[in-house]
Amino acid sequence: MTEQKVRARVVKASVSSTTNQIYKDDFTGSYGDIIEPPYNLKELKLIGEYSSILQQCVDAYKTNIVEFGIEPDYKLDVNSEEVAAEVKSQAESEWTRLDEFIRYLNMDESPEVILGYAIDDKEKTGNGYLEIIRDGTGAPVGIEYVDSQFMRVCKRTVPEQIEYTILENGVEKKVKRWKRFRKYVQLIDEKKVFFKEYGDPRIMNSTTGKFDESTPDNLRATEIFHMKIGSETYGKPRWIGNLISLYGARKAEELNLMYFRNGRHIPAAITVSNGKLDDSSYEALQGYMNDLQGTENAHKFLLLEAEGVVEEKQTNGDEKVTPVKVEIKSLAEVLQQDALFLEYDENSRRKIRSSFRLPPLYTGEAQDYSRATAAVAREVTEEQVFQPERKGLARVLNTLFLEPLGFKFVKLTVKGANLHDPVEIAKTLDPFIQANAVAPNDLRPLLGQILGKKVDLFPDEYNLPVQAARSPLDTLSGLHGIAKSEGSKEDLVDILKDLRDVLEYGR
């Protein structure tokens, strides 16, 4: 009988000795005065597309920090009697001017969208950039988004003396300070454009990066405001310590995908004893093995035919054939029953969220929350994460625009989510109403929130404590008393007016 040999070999995957960096640095060869960033900014910018959790965290920051709106607000109570009419008029004029300024801060997009782009870059790469546009008088009038992956920071220049306006005992005062500014450079399609740091008074050529007073207007560099995480030259993303976990989670997902595409789907091993497969069965088995890739070929049936081995021939011409034994041994115990590394993936998601200090509620994972726990999670995150970020952004915007534009009585505010429950507030107010400590106008804004529309205030003569107003029963009792005592006509008229007010305004 012919002996058939089966050979098996193990092939080791080849490992490249070169770098696996996805993107090359276009600034290579230009570093010197230009400072090299500690990480590949292009890879950091696009890494959110390869993570199942990072983009959700960044979107949560962007939505809750800036996308509830930017509005003007007064620095003082203009409705107070202590505010002079002239100051009130000037404050209202500034409010209107600031509202128009916010509306046209960018001619193509709303300021919330432009700032959202910069925050997105800041959270992914550690760096966000805004280009500040000035008008012909030198006043800042607009902002533009600058993609962080194409920007680099240069070394500081020689100190320059800058004049600042400060308040001393409530009086404006001019002071001078020395400051060293940076230059910034952008490289796209092998073309460099230079920018000044915001506040640098010198004239710089945007094509050469040199300070030159004779630079024509169309080549004068604009200014950049650098938003970054950390105090170093370049910012670093807050999740950078979990970079390995992020890549590991991606590899785990790729491994599970490859299992379904090219993994083992062999449910059993077929053994043949004292015989061999005929040619048709051998070819069918080979074809079956080749078709095992992919889920669409799982659970197929296979029919095998085997023939025994001839041991000897009989004298009558018959052949003695060994009995064939075909066995199917299950391999289910070595098959993957579910996706691999599910716990590892969950731990990776938890680490990334922790680096942003976000509860799962903000990344669309609210299955483990009740109303009470969700409210607590929102309040803590609002207090510890989003409010400080919004206050920092508002301070930056006021420094960038309001001080140079000379606004005194108004400021920019960055709105946040309204976490107050009007129903709970109404319950809390009941003891104060009973104690005559609340007037109707104190409650009208709350009523507007409940109704979802603007509610006007009552005139001052009707804005009395709720319980202090005369009730209809009291009014009728007064009428009866006047009638019995034959009171004056004037007293009766006053009581009737009170009754009319009660019926009209519900008092």
Q: How far is CA 9 from CA 6, 12, 287, in A?
A: 10, 10, 20
Kindly state the helix (H) or strand (E) to which residue 141 belongs, with its residue range: strand 140-146
Q: What is the mean pLDDT of residues 334-342?
A: 67
Take residue 192 and report the two structure tokens written for it. 């460099």
The mean of the pLDDT values for the chain is: 80
Given a cut of 80, is residue 193 above it in pLDDT? yes
- At 347-380, the pLDDT tens digits run 899 999 999 999 999 998 877 788 888 888 999 9
**Banded model confidence at residue 387, pLDDT cuts 50, 70, 90:** very high
What's residue 15's pLDDT?
A: 40
Q: What is the mean pLDDT of residues 214-231?
A: 94
Q: Where do the structural domains in the chain lie, given as residue ranges?
A: 269-333, 422-505
Q: Answer for the pair 333, 299: CB distance below 8 angstroms, yes or no.
A: no
What's residue 465's pLDDT?
A: 79
Check residues 413 and 325 and name the one with the higher pLDDT. 413
Given a cut of 50, is residue 4 above it in pLDDT? no
Q: What is the mean pLDDT of residues 322-329?
A: 75
What's residue 273's pLDDT?
A: 73
Q: What is the rounded CA–CA span in Å between residue 482 and residue 503?
A: 20
Q: What is the rounded CA–CA span in Å between residue 172 and residue 403?
A: 12
User: Which stretch of 32-36, 202-206, 297-301, 455-459 has the lowest confidence by average pLDDT?
Assistant: 297-301
pTM score, whole prediction: 0.73
Bridge partner residues of 268 (DSSP): 330
Torsion of CA 46, 52, 58, 62, to 10 degrees: 110
Given a cut of 80, is residue 180 above it in pLDDT? yes
Q: What is the mean pLDDT of residues 276-280?
A: 72
User: Which stretch of 45-59, 111-125, 267-281 has the lowest confidence by average pLDDT?
Assistant: 267-281
